[in-house]
Amino acid sequence: SGRLSSKEERVHSAMMNADMDAVEAENQVELEEKTRLINQVLELQHTLEDLSARVDAVKEENLKLKSENQVLGQYIENLMSASSVFQTTDTKSKRK
């Protein structure tokens, strides 16, 4: 009674194969999902690196422009103090 007939063995074997195929298909789906997620993480890392580099470049440009603005501001101040037109205006406003 413990022995399976050849038909029962074939059915049992087919069921085991179907179960193994289902597990294999599930593993394949999991592997594809993991691969997709890994690729997405890598893409996001590259995007973050690009954005970080861009932020650094913008900061550098901002510092450069601030420095240039200071130089130009000082230059304009010097021109204004050397100009009689602005000195006259300053004198008139001081008298009021």
pLDDT on residue 95: 52
Confidence of residue 73 (pLDDT cuts 50, 70, 90): very high
Query: What DSSP line would sit under the chain, residue for residue?
Result: --SPPHHHHHHHHHHHHHHHHHHHHHHHHHHHHHHHHHHHHHHHHHHHHHHHHHHHHHHHHHHHHHHHHHHHHHHHHHHHHH-HHHHHHHHHHHH-
pLDDT on residue 88: 59
Whole-model pTM: value is 0.53
- Per-residue pLDDT tens for 20-64? 888 899 999 999 999 999 999 999 999 999 999 999 999 999 999
Q: Which is nearest to 80 in space by CA: 90, 70, 71?
A: 90
Task: Let me know: does 12 contact 4? Beta carbons within 8 Å.
Answer: yes
- Is pLDDT at 96 greater than 70 in this prediction? no
